[in-house]
């Protein structure tokens, strides 16, 4: 199980990335919104989309299987 966070700052394409704690591209603390502990990035991204932003997407580095491009 991993802790997941949503980057409150959108990328150039408008998407907000979901990151595992410790990711190389983890956002600065003021931009990291804690999502919770999940067994997979799929659960974390679904929660981010449901609660915060439909444009949430998995980070290409730490949650590649959830990255939609």
Q: pTM for the whole thing?
A: 0.93
Q: Are 37 and 25 in contact (CB under 8 A)?
A: no
Average pLDDT over residues 17-43: 98
DSSP secondary structure, the chain, as one string? -EEEEEESS--TTS-EEEEETT-TTPPPGGGEEEEEEESSHHHHHHHHHHHT-TTEEE-TTT-GGG---
pLDDT higher than threshold 90 for residue 53: no
pLDDT higher than threshold 90 for residue 69: no
Q: What percent of the chain stands above pLDDT 70? A: 100
Average pLDDT over residues 34-54: 96
pLDDT higher than threshold 90 for residue 44: yes
Distance from the Cα of residue 6 to its chain's centroid:
4
Distance from the Cα of residue 38 to its chain's centroid:
12
Structure tokens of 52?
């915060």
């Amino acid at each position: 199980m991993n802790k997941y966070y949503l980057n409150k700052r959108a990328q150039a394409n408008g998407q907000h990335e979901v990151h595992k704690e410790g990711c190389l591209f983890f956002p600065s603390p003021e931009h990291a919104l804690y999502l919770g502990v999940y067994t997979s990035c799929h659960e974390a991204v679904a929660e981010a989309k449901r609660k915060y932003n439909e444009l949430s997407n998995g980070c290409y580095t730490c949650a590649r299987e959830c990255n939609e491009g």
